[in-house]
Amino acid sequence: MESIIYVGMDVHKDTYSLCSFDAKRSLLFSQTQMKSTTGNVVRYLKKVSEMNGGALTVCGYEAGPTGFKLCRELQKQGFACVIIAPSSIARTAKDKAVKTDKSDAQMLAKTLAFHSYKEVVLPSENIEAIKEIVRLRNSVLKVCKRAKQNLLSFLLVHGFSYSDGKHWTVKFSSWLKTIHFESEYLTYCFEEHLSEATRQIQRLFLLDKKLKELEDDKEIRDGVKKLKCICGIDTIAAVGLVAEVGDFDRFRAAKDFASYTGLCPGRHSSGLTDRGTGITKQGNIYLRTLLIEAAKSIKRSAPHGHKSKRILSRQEGAPSGVINYADKAGARIRMKMHHLERRGLHCNKAAAAGARELACFAWGMMTGHIA
């Protein structure tokens, strides 16, 4: 039986802290710190293997801001490397009281040896690139919203308030052109606020256009087309779901995927006390936001059971089984949300419940469980 040496790596921008662990001898050894280059890690792993008679090395580090590059490069050179989900690592009170790079590397090495962790699924480089565009769009959306608020707040402070309809329409743009200030300083501020808001709106428009182009990418094309059959999920939401999740088949059941999104209620049980709590809010925040917004859109769609032209165009050419499943999903989620609201539940809580149902239907759609 070939021996295995487990190497924990505490990864930072400038330095890597490494520690090896022999599970058979319960021995920590070769603790070191090095500059953050893949070459240094490779030399360390080869040396540890030679010191232990050609033993197999298994290394791993926590998922974090350094991304997946180190893992990919090590795997390309034939080394076994995993990325550990931080939430799955058991930490003692001592670990929380004394936290150093050295202790973290030791803890990661033992975590690898005892297999007491969950591995982060490594997406393909293409999927990761698409995910970055999706996240960039989300960041620009927040900046755009803030720029709009800054402009409206500035106008309100100086006595200008638009009340002839919704903001950011053609009519609203015409109204903005009628605004004049006597002070050249206020005019300058107004022009800067307006310019920033316009620029962010244009950036958001271009990113939306880019995402619509990405839906034809061969890796996500089929999944996006299926998800778009569900009312409430258009191109941006579908591309976001596929890019953020990656492989839906890694979840054994729909409830596992719903739990991954953090939309499942928690539970508090102690002694004779046993009560439910709010949703756990674990996992991917952006994914959860997409599902909740899609659920709210489903509630507003098809109020009389008739499909809009937009839904019909998205479902055109899809298999009948997929269309029937998508229609069933929309009807069930809409009915559940209306039922919960009639019972007096707050609309946001009803939306969270609808989003959980949508997560289950999305898993079924992407994994072929549509019977």
* Residues 201 and 334 reside in one and the same domain: no
Tell how strand 56-62 and strand 27-35 pair up. unpaired
> How far apart (Å, rounded) are the C-alpha atoms in residues 305 and 303?
6
pLDDT digits (tens, 9 = 90+) for 46-55: 999 999 989 9
* Residues 174 and 153 reside in one and the same domain: yes
pLDDT digits (tens, 9 = 90+) for 55-107: 999 999 999 999 999 999 999 999 999 999 988 888 777 767 778 999 999 99
* Residues 76 and 110 reside in one and the same domain: yes
Structure tokens, 162: 């638009």
* Residues 226 and 361 reside in one and the same domain: yes
Q: What domain range is 303 assigned to?
A: 221-367
* Residues 225 and 206 reside in one and the same domain: no
* Residues 162 and 92 reside in one and the same domain: no
**Domain-ending residue, one of 62, 80, 114:** 114
Q: Which of 97, 101, 66, 71 is nearest to 83 (CA)?
A: 71
* Residues 355 and 267 reside in one and the same domain: yes
* Residues 166 and 187 reside in one and the same domain: yes
Q: Which of 268, 135, 277 is nearest to 207 (CA)?
A: 135
**Domain-ending residue, one of 114, 141, 164:** 114
Residue 166 lies in a domain: yes
Query: H/E/C letters for each residue in the chain?
Result: CCCEEEEEEEECCCEEEEEEEECCCCEEEEEEEEECCHHHHHHHHHHHHHHCCCCEEEEEEECCCCCCHHHHHHHHCCCEEEEECHHHCCCCHHHHHCCCHHHHHHHHHHHHHHCCCCECCCCCHHHHHHHHHHHHHHHHHHHHHHHHHHHHHHHHHCCCCCCCCCCCCHHHHHHHHCCCCCCHHHHHHHHHHHHHHHHHHHHHHHHHHHHHHHCCCCCCHHHHHHHCCCCCCCHHHHHHHHHHHCCHHHCCCHHHHHHHCCCCEEEEEECCEEEEEEECCCCCHHHHHHHHHHHHHHHHCCCCCCCCHHHHHHHCCCCHHHHHHHHHHHHHHHHHHHHHHHCCCCHHHHHHHHHHHHHHHHHHHHHCCCC
* Residues 71 and 174 reside in one and the same domain: no
Looking at the 3D structure of the chain, how many domains does it have? 3
**Domain-ending residue, one of 114, 141, 159:** 114
Q: Are 259 and 231 in contact (CB under 8 A)?
A: no
The fraction of the chain above a pLDDT of 70, given in percent, is 99
pLDDT at 303: 65
* Residues 141 and 260 reside in one and the same domain: no
Torsion sign (Cα): 249, 83, 215, 353: positive
* Residues 238 and 160 reside in one and the same domain: no
pLDDT at 93: 72
What pTM did the predictor assign? 0.86
pLDDT under 50: residue ranges of the chain: 1
Residue 119 lies in a domain: no
Residue 120 lies in a domain: no
